Structure 1
């Protein structure tokens, strides 16, 4: 995702790379990390690290299917920042992902 200039000379976005990776996977749960990285605008290594973070904290689960990974998202996961800790990430997924949250899946 490209940053947009605010006129102040600094580039920034509302969502972090972690948020962008989560949304990219929500849109395509069988996407290759190379494709996720390209969509988000990070290196493949950065995408791998972000997916590892998201998996370690329970936001997604990775399952090996043949030679590929398939991801199941946990829409019940809570935001990490104290200001939004009472909210579930499923609301973000429903807002930005083309797939409705009910189809994103829930981690058992």
Structure 2
């Protein structure tokens, strides 16, 4: 009987995984992103900060928590992907999401 082992790699980067967490739940906590992505809370904070610094998401304070907003039409970062947007990636993965305007769906 052969067992199927999970691969040690993934098609999506941790940044993409954090983005998916935010798209699914704009009020997601950093510790929840960390658990879902499989990183420490500090690493999750770094991922979200890098997404924010790149202009992919905005963070708005709501009480003691952050609410994240996806920025409409933001191109993917790598030259091989640059002709596509974050909206297209999320739509291709069937991830329900909201953005700061009409999303490319």
TM superposition score category, shorter chain reference: 0.7 to 0.9
User: Which residue of structure 2 lines up, in the alignment, with residue 23 of structure 1?
Assistant: 20
Which one of the candidate residues 89, 100, 103 is aligned to 1:106? 100
SS of residue matched to 1:4: coil
Counterparts in 2 of 1:14-93, with a 5 A limit? 14-93=11-90
2: CA distance between counterparts of 1:20 and 1:14? 10
Instruction: Structure 1 unaligned segments of length 5 or more: list them.
Output: 6-10
Cα 1:88–1:54 change in 2 (3 A) is: same
Q: Confirm or deny: 8 A CA contact 2:73 2:85 kept in the other structure.
A: yes
Q: Do 2:17 and 2:37's aligned partners in 1 also have CA atoms closer than 8 Å?
A: yes
- Tell me the residue number matched to 2:91: 94
TM-score, structure 2 as length reference: 0.85
Q: How many residues align?
A: 97
Following TM superposition, the consecutive aligned residue runs of length 4 or more in structure 1 with deviations greater than 2 angstroms are: 95-98
Relative distance call for 1:75 and 1:95 in structure 2 (3 A) is farther
> How well do the aligned residues superpose, as a CA RMSD in angstroms?
1.6
